[in-house]
């Protein structure tokens, strides 16, 4: 026992004089480690000659000494930490490489929408947003599509249990807006629409449109074409050629499909456009019945309406070949657009 006590006291002394954390750790291993001096000495004690009482008191003495030694080691360690040189506040290395920071990015449809809003606002249009959950009245009836009208079949609709629907087009905002603000008015309504579509590279059940309308005195097809050309030239940053074809929508008369002369092939024809033209904006002069639903007298006012396929526009502008990328939720889609901010 005496020998063990001496060794432990030696260990305490050694701990006090250790100058570094490494030296201290060496002291700990030498004295208290699994194969250290204390363990070795204790192993060599001949317990068979001791009484139970003696064994007990030996054990507790040994533990006391070990605790004492462990405490001294901890105290010595704290002292070493305390005296270690500290980094000073102005010890700053300006040449050290910084930590990379990831920037978020806007979705390509959001970018296209923001750009359209900017351009239209520059032309005096208000930007309004209507509800995505809509009544049958605003989505169909007010737009001259009664219950039994075959045009309902053009838009496969999600019906909710409470008789409301997920809007199939942003045209649902036309009569809402006319009722609320009257004429004259210039406004666009960008937003999300839903149709019960089977999904493929060019069809999604969830997509974006940007509807717009102008109602004023003496509005004609010439105004419609002029506004559409101006918008598209600004979106694509060059002069664009457009053409109008007849198109049928019950809420416009006459109704058109406005095609864009393909920007990829210059109108010669390519795999993307086929014959040199890309169908982009359905439009037309607002049907008198729709104006009446909006509380506007068609003998006094006329107007045009259009529905830009916002998702399609984003796909063309940014070269996205499959519509399904846009809703897939994979951040790698967005990340490619971070430099555009
Ligand atoms: N709402 C129509 C659609 O989604 C497009 C449209 C808008 C047509 C405005 C004419 C005028 O198919």
Pocket perturbation via mutation, ligand 1, pick of 153, 166, 169 by most ligand atoms within 8 A of CB: 169
- Indicate the range of 127-141, 220-234, 311-325 predicted with least confidence: 311-325
Average the pLDDT over 299-323 and give the result. 91
- C-beta of residue 264 within 8 angstroms of C-beta of residue 274: no
- Quote the mean pLDDT of the chain: 88
* Angstrom distance (rounded) from CA 219 to CA 287: 13
Ligand 1 atom at minimum distance from 169 CA: 4
The predicted-structure confidence for 136-164, as pLDDT tens digits, reads as follows 999 999 999 998 888 888 788 999 999 99
CA 274 to centroid of ligand 1, rounded, Å? 23
What pTM was estimated for this model as a whole? 0.69
> What is the reported pLDDT for 40?
81
Distances (CA, A) of 159 to 131, 142, 143: 15, 18, 18
For residue 105, which phi and psi values (nearest 5 degrees)?
-140, 150
DSSP letters spanning 21-84: HHHHHHHHHHHHSTTSHHHHHHHHS-GGGS-HHHHHHHHHHHHHHHHHHHHHHHHHHHHHHHHS
DSSP letters spanning 135-197: -HHHHTGGGT--TT-GGGGGS--PBPTTS-EE-SSGGGHHHHHHHHH-SSEEEEEEEEEE--P
Beta carbon of 249 within 6 Å of any ligand 1 atom = yes
Checking if the pLDDT of 341 tops 50, the result is: no
CA 152 to centroid of ligand 1, rounded, Å? 13
Give the neighbor-by-neighbor strand order of the sheet with 242-246.
126-127, 185-194, 206-216, 302-309, 277-286, 252-261, 242-246
* Angstrom distance (rounded) from CA 18 to CA 259: 86
The predicted-structure confidence for 174-191, as pLDDT tens digits, reads as follows 999 999 999 999 999 999
> What is the reported pLDDT for 13?
79
* Angstrom distance (rounded) from CA 322 to CA 201: 5
CA 322 to centroid of ligand 1, rounded, Å? 22
Strands 302-309 and 206-216 turn out to be: antiparallel
CA 25 to centroid of ligand 1, rounded, Å? 79
> What is the reported pLDDT for 265?
83
* Angstrom distance (rounded) from CA 64 to CA 46: 20
CA 110 to centroid of ligand 1, rounded, Å? 20
- C-beta of residue 323 within 8 angstroms of C-beta of residue 204: yes
217, 223, 221, 210: which is closest to 306 by C-alpha?
210
Q: Give the whole-number percent of the chain exceeding pLDDT 70.
A: 97
Pocket perturbation via mutation, ligand 1, pick of 244, 247, 307 by most ligand atoms within 8 A of CB: 307
Q: CB under 8 Å to 9, separation ≥6 — which residues?
A: none
CA 251 to centroid of ligand 1, rounded, Å? 8
- Indicate the range of 198-207, 213-222, 298-307 predicted with least confidence: 198-207
The predicted-structure confidence for 76-135, as pLDDT tens digits, reads as follows 888 887 777 666 667 788 888 888 877 788 899 999 999 999 999 999 999 999 999 999
CA 192 to centroid of ligand 1, rounded, Å? 14
Beta carbon of 305 within 6 Å of any ligand 1 atom = yes
- C-beta of residue 252 within 8 angstroms of C-beta of residue 221: no
CA 24 to centroid of ligand 1, rounded, Å? 81
Ligand 1 atom at minimum distance from 255 CA: 10
Closest C-alpha to ligand 1, atom 9: 306
> What is the reported pLDDT for 245?
95
Average the pLDDT over 194-208 and give the result. 90
Q: CB under 8 Å to 127, separation ≥6 — which residues?
A: 117, 120, 121, 187, 188, 189, 190
- C-beta of residue 178 within 8 angstroms of C-beta of residue 295: yes
Distances (CA, A) of 175 to 68, 93, 295: 88, 64, 9
Checking if the pLDDT of 263 tops 90, the result is: no
- C-beta of residue 201 within 8 angstroms of C-beta of residue 323: yes
Ligand 1 atom at minimum distance from 307 CA: 7
The predicted-structure confidence for 37-47, as pLDDT tens digits, reads as follows 778 877 877 88
> What is the reported pLDDT for 293?
98
214, 163, 143: which is closest to 155 by C-alpha?
143
Q: What angle do CA 324, 274, 213 make, to 5 degrees?
A: 65
* Angstrom distance (rounded) from CA 143 to CA 141: 5
């Amino acid at each position: 026992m005496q020998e063990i006590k001496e060794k432990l006291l030696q260990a305490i002394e050694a701990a006090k004089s250790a100058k570094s954390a490494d030296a201290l750790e060496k002291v700990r291993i030498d004295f208290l480690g699994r194969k250290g001096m204390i363990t070795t000495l204790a192993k060599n004690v001949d317990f068979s000659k001791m009484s139970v009482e003696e064994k007990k008191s030996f054990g507790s003495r040994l533990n006391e000494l070990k605790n004492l030694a462990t405490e001294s080691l901890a105290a010595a360690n704290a002292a070493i930490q305390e005296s270690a040189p500290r980094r000073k506040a102005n010890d700053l290395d300006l040449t050290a490489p910084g930590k990379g920071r990831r920037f978020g990015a806007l979705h390509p449809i959001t970018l296209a929408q923001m750009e359209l809003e900017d351009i239209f606002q520059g032309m005096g249009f208000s930007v309004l947003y209507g509800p995505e959950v809509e009544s049958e009245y605003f989505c169909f009836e007010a737009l001259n599509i009664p219950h039994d009208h075959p045009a309902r079949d053009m838009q496969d609709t999600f019906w909710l249990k409470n008789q409301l629907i997920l809007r199939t087009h942003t045209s649902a905002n036309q009569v809402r807006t006319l009722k609320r603000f009257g004429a004259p008015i210039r406004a666009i309504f960008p937003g999300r629409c839903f149709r019960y579509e089977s999904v493929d590279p060019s069809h999604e059940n969830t997509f974006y449109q940007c509807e717009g309308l102008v109602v004023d005195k003496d509005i004609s097809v010439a105004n419609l074409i002029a506004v559409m050309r101006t918008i598209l030239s600004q979106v694509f940053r060059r002069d664009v050629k457009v053409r109008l074809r007849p198109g049928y929508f019950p809420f416009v008369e006459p109704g058109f499909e406005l095609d864009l002369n393909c920007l990829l092939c210059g109108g010669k024809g390519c795999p993307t456009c086929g014959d040199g033209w890309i169908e982009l904006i359905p439009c037309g002069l607002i049907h008198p019945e729709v104006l009446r639903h909006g509380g506007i007298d068609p003998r006094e006012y006329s107007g045009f309406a259009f529905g830009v396929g916002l998702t399609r526009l984003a796909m063309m502008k940014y070269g996205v070949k499959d519509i399904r990328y846009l809703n897939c939720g994979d951040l790698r889609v967005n990340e490619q657009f971070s430099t555009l901010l």
